[in-house]
Structure 1
Amino acid sequence: MMTKTKKQLLDNAPLVRRFLQSSPLASAVIDVNGTILFANNKLTDLLGYSSEELLGKSSAALFPNLAKCLRRAHSARGASQSEWEPQQHEQEVVLKSKNNQNLSLKLTLQPISGTVTSPCLAHFAHADTPRLDPNLLQSERLAAIAQMASGLAHESRNALQRAIACLDLLELDLKNDPEQMNLSQGIRNSLADLMGNYEEVRRYAEPITLRPQRVRLLHLCQIAFDEIAVRHEYFPHQLRFSCESEHADVAHVDREKMKLVCHHLIENAIDACEDIAEIDVHCERIMRRHDDAVQLTFHDHGHGFAAETLPLVFDPFYTTKQHGTGLGLAICRRIVEAHRGEIEATNHDDGGGMIYVTITADGNALSSPSQANKSET
């Protein structure tokens, strides 16, 4: 039976291939049974096989110990903390090339999602290659995603513009037919959503440059809420604030990026409620081990998070909704971590989901423009 993650990979094969081809390492995607789903040109060149000879084949012929490596990667995931983070597992292996030459390589396996049946992303490097810093690997990974998304957005924009131009001409003949005009508007909205999805992937992967300034965080939440409201004809939802003291919500942050965090969290809270959303946002100062911090708590009073989804809510592309890319909370996490903060999700004892956003209150820590996950694309 095909797993959900494997099906998503196969459904998005062009995206996966583009991503793997941009990797600086010989790379492949291998399912839990050891079947090679994708392989980039660097791996086929290294082993002497063509793509057709590798795809869909068992990797056991290349190196017999792969099954053990996959089990070790997934068992380590199962024993890790409840909030899943991609764990890399590196070891030396011997691969057999097409001409029967033994190649000593470093294998790095990383499960793609937090499930025990998830396919793994496999990177191969020569055994004498120095180990790369994990932050550098993450930076290069994000750069590759950004490059891929930007390329797809650029290539798709022309096609979308042609489609919209055709709709414009078609609507000239349909202007006296309201029912057909509604269908045409639905097509137009879907094309806009498609372009928006490409842009959201690009925003997720692009380097984060911070320009901190003094901001009232609760005021920022209100602005984000108002911007969401003006996009809807009917908007009965309520945002309620509480603050432990008059200036507890003052922090030095990048205003636009933190407003984007508030925007995503408020939209998620609204989606989590059946009808009218009542969202409580509380702010207080807390002491962390190393500094004074500001903590924002968003409580939506909705249906809460399912137990099995809590470890996955901040994973890129994970979503339980019928719309969107599943990148909203992943973008929030990147922005919050760039502010030397943490973000976590849980359920309230009385019902509803809760998101905690904790960032440093030290203005000097972010006093000059800084860049998270610097990369060149």
Structure 2
Amino acid sequence: MIKRTQTKLLILAGTIAVTVAIHYGYVLPYLFGHSTWVHAVHSRFCYIPIAIAAAWFGLRGGLISASAISLLVLPFVLIPNAVVPSEHFSSMSSELVEIFFYFGFGVLIGALVDRESRIRQRHESAQLQLERAKHLAVVGQMAAGVAHEIKNPLASIKGAVEIVGGESTPEADRREFRTIISKEIKRIDGTVKEFLEYARPRPTELKPLDLTALIESALRQIGAQPDHQAIHFETELEPEVQILGDSDKLHQVILNLVLNAVQASPRESVISISLRRVPGEGVRLTIKDQGKGIRPEDLPRIFEPFYTTKHRGTGLGLTIVKGIIEDHKGLIEVSSSETGGATFTVTFPPVGGVIH
């Protein structure tokens, strides 16, 4: 910053020296001779360093540069024939008026620059305060979300522990409530992981990967869960589709989108999943469920943090998904059919390319 200011001052000093030299008649008269129009031209060059100083340093710069130039041209004004015969130049009164205009010009430009600077600073300050307010609001929402999502599982765990610890509780009931405890602990763990992923995401590491194999792996993992065995998957996957991506994060994206589709669909539904290369666009993944669909008023907010239409959930899943896809230079879109069902479409750029 100091070096930059010093450079500006050197440029300004050089500009003042050149323009004053022109004003004294050291340059133009040698090219065009002594005439009224020549002096009228080179006397106006003194406004250039004043404008530069005012633009760089505001009102103070404009006044200082106007003062410096005025002091340097005063000998030319006050001492007759100081440099060249005075008949070739304007009268003393016109020169003094010119000096007055130097100050007026410096004040005008400097005041406008200072005003613009103050407006910009107020805008930046307002933006900073807005960002802080948003940050505090997000922190508040996160705290409320964590409390809400953990409160119910903790209550279930507490009740189950009391029952398991009872001397009169049958062994079969103990096993059942141990399962409940384990399930609720997993739920808490998932909630905490989701909040951490949103608040402090891991850096994305892009490497060549087989997206087809990644989708098949995620579907096997989901299909192995007893709660999801009543859902059928209809897949249309092109083999060995290669992209640059973070396998762990994309695995999370696929799990989240497919699980959302599973949760939105009734039992014995069919979830359609397709993966294909689109010439000129990249790779397109489509996941379609057979649920009730998404209301039109909910569509614009579906990726907002903490916004959810579910009875249970943090509202962060799709926000995290969107962030991961954008880290991969991809695009996610959602549509809902009037007859029911929602479709999520994810487009990844071709290897070494971008989505336009």
* Larger RCO: 1 or 2 (CA < 8 Å, sep 6+): 1
**Contact 1:343 1:355 survives alignment (8 Å):** yes
CA separation of 1:255 and 1:145: change in aligned 2, threshold 3 A: farther
The TM-score, its normalising length taken from structure 1, stands at 0.50
1:40-99, Cα deviation, whole Å (9 max, x unpaired): xxxxxxxxxxxxxxxxxxxxxxxxxxxxxxxxxxxxxxxxxxxxxxxxxxxxxxxxxxxx
Q: Which residue number corresponds to residue 206 of structure 1?
A: 200
CA separation of 1:307 and 1:178: change in aligned 2, threshold 3 A: same
Q: Which residue number corresponds to residue 127 of structure 1?
A: 122
Q: 2:266 aligns with which of 274, 295, 311?
A: 274
Q: 1:310 aligns with which of 274, 299, 302?
A: 299
Q: 1:235 aligns with which of 205, 223, 229?
A: 229
Displacement, 1:320? Answer: 1.9
Greater shift, 270-279 or 227-236, is seen at 227-236
For 1:349 and 1:320, the matched residues in 2 are separated by: 18
Write the mapping of 1:358-369 to structure 2, written as runs, cut at 5 A: 358-363=347-352
Q: In structure 1, give the amino acid aligned to 2:249.
A: K
**Contact 1:237 1:277 survives alignment (8 Å):** yes
**Contact 1:171 1:181 survives alignment (8 Å):** no
For 2:168 and 2:198, the matched residues in 1 are separated by: 39
Displacement, 1:215? Answer: 2.1
**Contact 1:333 1:343 survives alignment (8 Å):** yes
Q: Which residue number corresponds to residue 225 of structure 1?
A: 219
**Contact 1:164 1:188 survives alignment (8 Å):** no
Displacement, 1:186? Answer: 3.5
Write the mapping of 1:148-297 to structure 2, written as runs, cut at 5 A: 167=161, 170-171=164-165, 173=167, 176=170, 178-179=172-173, 182=176, 185-186=179-180, 189-232=183-226, 235-243=229-237, 246-247=239-240, 249-286=241-278, 292-297=281-286
Displacement, 1:235? Answer: 0.6
Displacement, 1:266? Answer: 0.6
For 2:249 and 2:304, the matched residues in 1 are separated by: 19
Displacement, 1:164? Answer: 7.0
**Contact 2:164 2:174 survives alignment (8 Å):** no
Q: In structure 2, give the amino acid aligned to 1:296.
A: L
Displacement, 1:218? Answer: 2.7
1:17-38, Cα deviation, whole Å (9 max, x unpaired): xxxxxxxxxxxxxxxxxxxxxx
1:200-257, Cα deviation, whole Å (9 max, x unpaired): 11112223411222222232122112212223266132222224x655x321111110
**Contact 2:212 2:239 survives alignment (8 Å):** no
**Contact 1:218 1:241 survives alignment (8 Å):** no
**Contact 1:174 1:181 survives alignment (8 Å):** no
Displacement, 1:172? Answer: 6.4
For 1:364 and 1:210, the matched residues in 2 are separated by: 17
- The structure in which a higher percent of residues are helix is 2
For 2:174 and 2:312, the matched residues in 1 are separated by: 24
**Contact 1:285 1:293 survives alignment (8 Å):** yes
Greater shift, 345-354 or 166-175, is seen at 166-175
CA RMSD of aligned residues (A): 4.3
Unmatched 5+ stretches in structure 2: 1-117
**Contact 1:345 1:355 survives alignment (8 Å):** yes
Percent of residue pairs bearing the same amino acid type = 26
1:94-148, Cα deviation, whole Å (9 max, x unpaired): xxxxxxxxxxx99xxxxxxxxxxxxxxxxxx982756769xx959x949x759x7
How many residue pairs get matched? 230
CA separation of 1:323 and 1:260: change in aligned 2, threshold 3 A: same
CA separation of 1:322 and 1:351: change in aligned 2, threshold 3 A: closer
**Contact 2:160 2:178 survives alignment (8 Å):** no
**Contact 2:160 2:180 survives alignment (8 Å):** no
1:182-208, Cα deviation, whole Å (9 max, x unpaired): 456545533542343222111122234
CA separation of 1:127 and 1:224: change in aligned 2, threshold 3 A: same
For 2:168 and 2:300, the matched residues in 1 are separated by: 49
For 1:319 and 1:254, the matched residues in 2 are separated by: 26
**Contact 2:284 2:348 survives alignment (8 Å):** yes
The TM-score, its normalising length taken from structure 2, stands at 0.52
- The structure in which a higher percent of residues are strand is 1
Write the mapping of 1:40-51 to structure 2, written as runs, cut at 5 A: none
> 2:167 aligns to what SS in structure 1?
helix
Q: In structure 1, give the amino acid aligned to 2:295.
A: A
Write the mapping of 1:322-341 to structure 2, written as runs, cut at 5 A: 322-341=311-330
Q: In structure 1, give the amino acid aligned to 2:269.
A: A
